[in-house]
Amino acid sequence: MAKHVFELRHEHIALCDLLKAVAIAPSGGIAKMMIAAGDVQVDGQVDTRKTAKIRAGMVVSALGETIEVVQAK
């Protein structure tokens, strides 16, 4: 299981954009399809909202990979 740390520079990032930013999904369209299919979890719960606001402190999991979102300093 790969683990990524994503440094958030703003208040939030859309879930589909986060998956694309860390290269779990090769494009925004693929990210949206993964989310709609129920393949993505936010803080341990399946989340099907493509533009869910992901904030610092949240953990996103997809395809055996985990993203820890932290606030950039």
Q: Determine the Cα–Cα distance for residues 70 and 46; give it in Å rounded to an integer.
A: 20
Q: Assign 11 to helix, strand or coil.
A: coil
The 8-class DSSP code of residue 25 comes to S
Q: Which residues contact 73 (CB under 8 A, 6 or more apart)?
A: none
Query: What order do you get walking across the sheet with 45-46 strand by strand?
Result: 2-8, 65-71, 59-62, 40-42, 45-46
| Predicted pLDDT at 73 | 84
Delimit the domains of the chain by residue range. Answer: 2-71
Q: Which CATH topology does 2-71 take?
A: 3.10.290
> What digits encode the pLDDT tens for the residues 27-62?
999 999 999 999 999 999 999 999 999 999 999 999
| Global confidence as pTM | 0.93
% of the chain beyond a pLDDT of 90: 97
